[in-house]
Structure 1
């Protein structure tokens, strides 16, 4: 993660994301612009973040290491959203790892001097409540999909969500757990997509060869009436 001193880019990202409307307190002067490369961490597991992040551009994933050492995928973030808001509100909350899926740009507000002001900011707190509600609803939809749709449809959507530059390289064990299927079943469906020419195996993972076909598979879950 690197701080970038580019006022024009920072101003553009602030304007495009409607960032300042999320606060009633003045935050412009203290907001920093951070650049995170794909694979780097926005928040490290177990370390209280020094900033409240606002993901202005890019995608990231949230995961946790369980007591048995297994790594479990929890959620995915896409611009525009806050990262680290739970740690800001509850200092006892155990931070989970947030890792960039692709190149990310974050607007970052130092937590220490702003915590008290933000916790008294009704506009900010209202926005956080709405944001957490949306995240909860997204998790409910994910659960419904796991129960209602074929793995090939869900995996197509997952590949599109987690790919970077048309390369998919998530760990099979973590994906199988996240989707609630067996490791063997997951490998069978990946092999099916490969045989049908949608994916090609490569050293770095799987190269997407037919994105439009993956999109069509994913869209079958978005049909009218398919989800609440």
Structure 2
């Protein structure tokens, strides 16, 4: 994690996400800018969070490590999303692990600033309540996806969730074949089963396996296969 001392950049992000003027001035003055590298862990389950983070650039992955050491994917987050809202308001440790998928940037508010300013700002609290409501809805959707749908649907949902609209036809770096064991674990299946699904997807023209990576070939059909259930 790196703190970015750049008021102009902070203002640009505030303006871009229509946050400027939304909150009390004391709350805005407490905001700082932070960045994380690709693959960097933002927080782990059990951590006591010292900042509330608002994702303003990049993408993050949220997953839970189970007692048996395996992981299960909860969802991906895009801007504008919050990390640490429940933990800050309830004073509990993090319940999940959050990882930066690519280079990410956050607006952060320290725990002390939350207590001194943001928690007294009605506009900010309304913003947080809206974020929590959205999380509850998407968490319910992700839980149903993990429990009730076959691996084919889960993997299609995973592919659609990590593929941006602009780059849907390009190589997905996260899907290098060396990562398939990790992805299988996140989706709650075995490497062999996932490999069979990928082989079938390739045979059906949905993906292409080449040079140690996967390419999306038919994003529309993957969306249809996901049945509208996404990890994002």
The question of whether the paired residues in 2 share the 8 Å contact of 1:154 and 1:218 is answered with no
Distance 1:120 1:71, change over 3 A: same
Structure 1 range deviating more: 101-110 or 64-73: 64-73
Hey, what does 2:209 align to over in structure 1? 200
Matched, 1:166 2:177: no
Distance in 1 between residues matched to 2:117 and 2:8, nearest whole Å: 27
Cα gap change, 1:220 to 1:75, in 2 (>3 Å): closer
| 1:124-171 deviation digits (Å, cap 9, x = unpaired) | 222222211111212333345567766434422312323696222451
How far apart are 1:82 and its partner, in Å? 1.2
Q: How many Å apart are 1:102 and its aligned residue?
A: 1.6
User: Matched residue of 2:26: which SS?
Assistant: coil
Distance in 1 separating the partners of 2:19 and 2:208: 38
Deviations 1:89-144 (A, max 9, x none): 12233443210112211111111232243333322222222211111212333345
2:222 corresponds to 1:217: yes
TM-score, L = length of structure 2: 0.77
Among 176, 182, 187, the residue aligned to 1:176: 187
- Structure 2 segments unaligned to the other structure (5+ residues): 165-170
Compute the displacement of 1:69 (Å). 2.0
- Contact residue 27 and residue 121 of structure 2 kept, 8 A: no
Q: Distance in 2 between matches of 1:184 and 1:200?
A: 16
CA contact (8 A) 1:149 1:221 kept: no
Aligned CA-pair RMSD: 2.9
Q: Which residue does the alignment assign to 1:31?
A: 31
Deviates more, 1:163-172 or 1:62-71: 163-172
Unaligned runs of 5+ in 1: 224-228
Give the alignment partner of residue 187 of structure 1, picking from 187, 192, 195: 195
Deviation at 1:56, TM superposition (A): 0.5
Alignment of 1:74 onto 2:74: yes
Q: 1:128 to 1:182 in 2, by over 3 A?
A: same
In structure 2, C-alpha distance between the alignment counterparts of 1:126 and 1:28, rounded to whole Å: 15
Query: TM-score by structure 1 length?
Result: 0.79
C-alpha deviation, 1:85, in angstroms: 0.8
* Aligned pairs for 1:1-228 within 5 A: 1-20=1-20, 23-145=23-145, 151-162=151-162, 166-167=172-173, 168=175, 169=179, 171-177=182-188, 184-196=192-204, 198-200=207-209, 202-203=211-212, 206-210=213-217, 213-219=218-224, 221=226
Change (3 A) 1:201 1:174: farther
Comparing 189-198 with 148-157, greater Cα deviation is found at: 148-157
